[in-house]
Amino acid sequence: MKIIMLGAPGAGKGTQAKKIAAKYEIPHISTGDIFRANIKNGTELGKKAKTYMDQGLLVPDELVVDLVVDRLNQDDCKKGFVLDGFPRTIPQAEALTEALQSLGQSMDFAIDVNVPDQNIINRMSGRRACVGCGATYHIVYAPTKTEGICDHCGGELILRDDDKPETVENRLKVYHEQTQPLIDYYTKAGILHTVDGTVDIEDVFKAVTDILGA
């Protein structure tokens, strides 16, 4: 099963992608997580990506596409995968289509998690991420058992650098200009499904699994 999660920053792509990956036993591939891991490890890629991410801008396509295509060629992707945060531009979508075509494959589902802009800013200011394992929480909607401490690894929770309100506004603008056109792209490809991302996390997941099948 090959799935793309679409949606604005903070729509819940990562939250749902993790649940999909666990239920269907396929890898969760988040380009944002890959960049954040590179930043943490001080790699050249991380240094380049950080200058864009901190401003709420997209990392240039040429730094993203090969990275994802290489990842999709790994063995664990043979039975499928869930992409979270990629593709984000039409050239990225075209590169993905071509890479899969060369293997005689195509994507099965593109799921748009739909959340209006007004809800997003509120969500982002409450999001907390673990510095240790990257798990994501929300101070109101998905709290940890102990405040400020990760349930999984006991790591410290932080507000992501790009979750400041002024950066979130920029990310939303970039989303509408560069990523929203993918909704049309995947509608034309006949694989687009939309779920309401404003309801509870479990209710969003129910809508997702109704689309994907048991």
**Is residue 130 at the binding interface for ligand AP5, with CB under 6 A as the rule?**
no
Nearer to Mg ion, 78 or 176 (CB): 176
Q: Which of 14, 96, 111, 112 binds ligand AP5 (CB under 6 A)?
A: 14
**Cα-flanking dihedrals φ and ψ of residue 167, to 5°?**
-75, -35
Annotated catalytic residue within 2, 19, 36, 88: 88
Closest CA to 138 of 159, 166, 154: 159
Q: Which of 96, 171, 186, 208 binds ligand AP5 (CB under 6 A)?
A: 171
**Subset of 58-87 contacting ligand AP5 (CB under 6 A):** 58-59, 64, 85-86
Nearer to Mg ion, 142 or 189 (CB): 142
**Is residue 14 at the binding interface for Mg ion, with CB under 5 A as the rule?**
yes
Query: What, of Mg ion, ligand AP5, none, does residue 38 touch, CB below 5 to 8 Å by kind?
Result: none
**Is residue 20 at the binding interface for ligand AP5, with CB under 6 A as the rule?**
no
- Residues 93-122, mask of contacts with ligand AP5 (x by CB under 6 A): ------------------------------
Nearest distance in Å: CB 6, Mg ion? 12
Contact at 8 Å (CB) between 127 and 160? yes
Q: Which of 11, 39, 72, 96 binds ligand AP5 (CB under 6 A)?
A: 11
Distance of CA 9 to the CA centre of its chain: 8
**Is residue 15 at the binding interface for ligand AP5, with CB under 6 A as the rule?**
yes
**Is residue 19 at the binding interface for ligand AP5, with CB under 6 A as the rule?**
no
CA atoms of 25 and 22, how far apart (whole Å):
5
Residues annotated as catalytic are: 13, 88, 127, 160, 171
